[in-house]
Structure 1
Amino acid sequence: MLLENMSMALHAIKSNKMRSFLTMLGIIIGIGAVIAIVSVGDSMRNLFSDAYKDVGFNRAIILVSWDVPDFRMSDYFTRDEMDRVREVYQDKIQYLDSDANADAEAVNGRRKVKYQFQGIDSNYTDVQPLDIIYGRAINTADVKGAANHVVLEDKGAVQLFGTADCVGRTFRMTINKDTQEYMVVGVYHKEISPMMAMLMGNGQTQSGFLPYTVLTKPNDYFQNLNFYVRDGVDMNAFLAELTRYVAKLKGRPESEIRTMSVAEQMGSVDAGLSGMAAAVGGIAAISLLVGGIGIMNIMMVSVTERTREIGVRKALGARTRDIMIQFLTESAFMSACGGIIGILLGVALVKAGGAIFQMTVVIRPSVVILAVGFSALVGIFFGLYPASKAAKKDPIEALRYE
């Protein structure tokens, strides 16, 4: 019976191809838009997750809040205090530095390149591996001697020297109002997708690393402690413990100690992206309602056009339930076809966008299955009234209809 009804539904759709397609158009657009928006949202969340993974999920910073009314010089950290924290929590902290950074203009002859340098310790590569293609990374001697040694990203090195292979070459740069010569000891390469590059800006500012001791000269004060916890350490519990320690160290109440973790930032970004995707997806889903109304409209017309057919079927013994199932099957079949076309369209758009921006796209099978099921339910729901109207027709009056 089901196969017979589906065959009759397919025949009815073929008999009015253009009308059927226009009827399905709302469903096609709605399902396609929902699939595309959800997939784009999931892909962006995956992209940001990878970006935060590069930063390190186990990374956090701690500081005395700037908002305190009596902020004093002693609220800054010193290298001695950082060493004390490292010693006390050596079983929980894998890496620790001053979170020092500097924006500066590197000058080599007539070439000038804007850089953002991050101050790091010698064991930085333990938590953030660098793909060193020339030279070496910052080492212990560089940090202890506060040597003017830098590690540059390859594309910035090309801008500054005309080649990535520039180990041993020097340039001038002003940091903390002090202009000095700096020597390149290493060059690294970092892969980044076009989408992430676009999100990060125009790329005019290049990246590099310096010993953190260079950036904290000459007074050896810095505001933040930047650290990575060891695997297996509960970040929230440790932040609470470290907050108590720093509050005691600085003679401040715990409420004036501020912490920020990468996991917390990622959670906020993920929640924001999820909310935005849900809102936009909800707006796109309105077209499903429009498509459902279109199906109801065309099914009402179909019932009127096929009044005599309904009379003949009833005269030959078709029950009221049979007529109702026939028209419900037709409306559900039409809606499901629109849903499948919409899914193919949405997936194609997402795949094409992923290929253009060279990013991995995420298409959840559960969303696709839900979309097909929902489109069929839309057809059944909006086909219920026309089917009921067809089923209730009096066979005598239907046979008289011209």
Structure 2
Amino acid sequence: MLIENMKMAINSLRANKLRSILTMLGIIIGIGSVISIVSLGDTMRKVFSDIYKNVGETQAVIMLSYTVDEVRSSDSFSLDDIDKLKQIFGDRLAYIDAGSQSRVDVKIGRKKQKADLSGVDYNYETVQPVNMLSGRYLSKKDVQETRNVAMLKDSTARLFFGTENAVGKTFRAEVGGENRTFQVIGVYHRDESAIQKVLTQTNDSIGEVIIPWTILAKEGDELSMLRYFGRLGMNKSEMDQLNTEIKGYFSRTKNRNPEDWQIISLKTQMGQVDSVMAGISAAVGGIAAISLLVGGIGIMNIMLVSVTERTREIGIRKALGASTKDILIQFLTESALLSALGGLIGVLLAIGLVSLGGAIFHLQVVIKPIIIVIAVAFSAVVGVFFGLYPANRAANEDPIVALRYE
């Protein structure tokens, strides 16, 4: 019976091709809009998630809060504080340093370039891995002996020396009031997302250089902040607990209230950004879903017209023994099929448009299969819901009156 109703519904739609296409248009636009917006939202959430992964999901920075009125010299951090944190938190703390950075003028022969120097420890690659193209990474002795060695990003090597083959070459820079000659010991490449590439395009003229952090932070220096990474794989609750304990430690040792310290945690920021993106995606997707109601009203309208046009057909079928239920199911099948086809076309168009956009902007698009299934099923439900009244009206036609209808 179902197959027979499907055949009759298909024949009815084929008999009025243009009208059927125009009726499906509202569903096509509605479903296409919903899937496109949801997929766009999921894609952007993945992009931001990848950005945070590239800079370290468990990275955090602690400093004195800007709301503190009186700043004391004892509020500063020291190298001893770093050693004590390593002892206290053990393997829960994957990495820690002073987060030292400096923008300097670098001299390569007679040429001068701007460069950002980042001071890191020898084990920084465990939390921020890079692809070494040539040479080697910083060693423990490089850091302990404060050697004038440097690692260059591949684009920086080209900027400084016109080639990536820069291992063994030297450049000069004034760091901490001292003129130093650095020897390049390694050239690395860091994978970046499409969004990161866009954000860093304006800084192509500024070099990226990694040096031992002991050059920028010496014994006796007063450090304004500490940068650390929780154990890799820590979830948000574990990272929050670590942050709370570190804040509590410095509150005790420096005679401060916990609220006097500010911790900027990327794990927390990532959660906030993801929640905002999810909320925006859901809100805009909900607005786009309103067009489904418009499409449903269109289906109801065209089905009412179809009932009127086929009144005599309904009378003949009833006279030949068709029950009220048979007529009801026939028209419900037709409206559901009309809506489901519109939903399927909308899905295909949405996937095509989103994939095309991803290819143009070099983004890996996220299209969840469950969203497609829900969209097509929902479009069919819309067709049944809005086709219920016309189908019920057709089913309750008086066969005698229907047969007399011209």
Listed as ranges, the matches of 1:239-388 within 5 Å are 239-388=243-392
2:139 is equivalent to residue 153 of structure 1: no
**Residue number in structure 2 paired with 1:58:** 58
How far apart, CA to CA, are the structure 1 residues paired with 2:293 and 2:177? Answer: 64
Is this contact kept in 2: 1:239–1:259, CA < 8 A? yes
- Aligned-partner Cα distance in 1 for 2:354–2:244: 43
Aligned to 1:215: 216
Work out whether residues 47 and 193 of structure 2, in 8 Å CA contact, stay in contact via their aligned partners in 1. Answer: no
Give deviations 1:153-179, integer Å, cap 9, x for gaps: 101211221101112222344555766
Taking a change above 3 Å as real, the CA distance of residues 195 and 89 of structure 1, as seen in their structure-2 partners, is: closer
TM-score (norm 1): 0.92
Superposed CA deviations along residues 230-289 of structure 1, whole A, max 9, x for unmatched, are: 357632222222211111122211111222322211111111110111112112112111
2:217 and 2:27 map into 1 onto residues whose CA distance is 61
Q: Distance in 1 between the 2:201 and 2:213 partners?
A: 26
380-389 or 201-210, which deviates more: 201-210
The aligned length equals 402
User: Percent identity between the aligned chains?
Assistant: 49
Once the 2 structures are TM-superposed, how far is the Cα of residue 180 of structure 1 from its aligned partner? Answer: 4.5
Opposite residue 31 of structure 2, the aligned amino acid is I
Please name the residue that 2:73 is paired with: 73
| Whole-Å separation in 2 of the counterparts to 1:141 and 1:312 | 96
CA contact (8 A) 1:97 1:212 kept: yes
1:54 CA displacement: 2.4
Cα contact 2:78–2:220 (8 A) shared by 1: no
Return 231-240 or 36-45, whichever deviates more: 231-240
> 1:188 is matched with which residue?
188
Deviations 1:199-252 (A, max 9, x none): 555443443312222223696222221112335763222222221111112221
Moved more, 257-266 or 328-337: 257-266
Kept in 2: contact 1:27–1:342 (CA 8 A): yes
Cα distance, 1:88–1:307 mapped onto 2, change above 3 Å = same
- Amino acid in the other structure paired with 2:215: V
Contact 1:197–1:203 under 8 Å retained in 2: no
User: If the length of structure 2 is used for normalisation, what is the TM-score?
Assistant: 0.92
Name which of structure 1's ranges 21-30 and 196-205 shifts more when overlaid on structure 2.
Answer: 196-205
2: CA distance between counterparts of 1:111 and 1:384?
79
* Greater Cα shift, 4-13 or 58-67: 58-67
| 229-238 vs 163-172, greater mean Cα deviation | 229-238
Q: Distance in 2 between matches of 1:300 and 1:105?
A: 77
| In structure 2, distance between residues paired with 1:179 and 1:252 | 39
Change (3 A) 1:72 1:367: same
CA distance in structure 1 between the aligned counterparts of 2:397 and 2:29, rounded to whole angstroms: 34
Q: Distance in 2 between matches of 1:311 and 1:163?
A: 86
After TM superposition, list the pairs within 5 Å mapping 1:23-102 onto structure 2: 23-102=23-102
In 2, Cα distance between equivalents of 1:272 and 1:177: 45
Letter paired with 2:75 = D
The answer for unaligned runs of 5 or more in structure 1 is none
Q: CA deviation at 1:112?
A: 4.9
1:252/1:201 CA distance change after superposition, 3 Å: farther
**Helix, strand or coil: the match of 2:122?**
coil
In the TM superposition, residue 400 of structure 1 has moved relative to its aligned partner by 1.8
Runs of 5+ consecutive residues of structure 2 not aligned to the other structure:
none
Root-mean-square deviation (Å): 2.2
1:347 alignment partner AA: I
Q: Choose 376-385 or 49-58, whichever is displaced more.
A: 49-58
Which of 190-199 and 243-252 deviates more? 190-199
Map of 2:2 onto structure 1? 2
How far residue 333 of structure 1 moved from its aligned partner, in angstroms, is 0.3
Structure 1 residues 22 and 202, CA gap change in structure 2 (3 angstroms): farther
After superposition, the C-alpha distances for 1:84-103 in whole angstroms (9 at most, x for unaligned) are 22233334322110112223
Question: Which sits farther off after the overlay, 38-47 or 197-206?
Answer: 197-206
User: Does structure 2 retain, via aligned residues, the 8 Å contact 1:100–1:212?
Assistant: yes
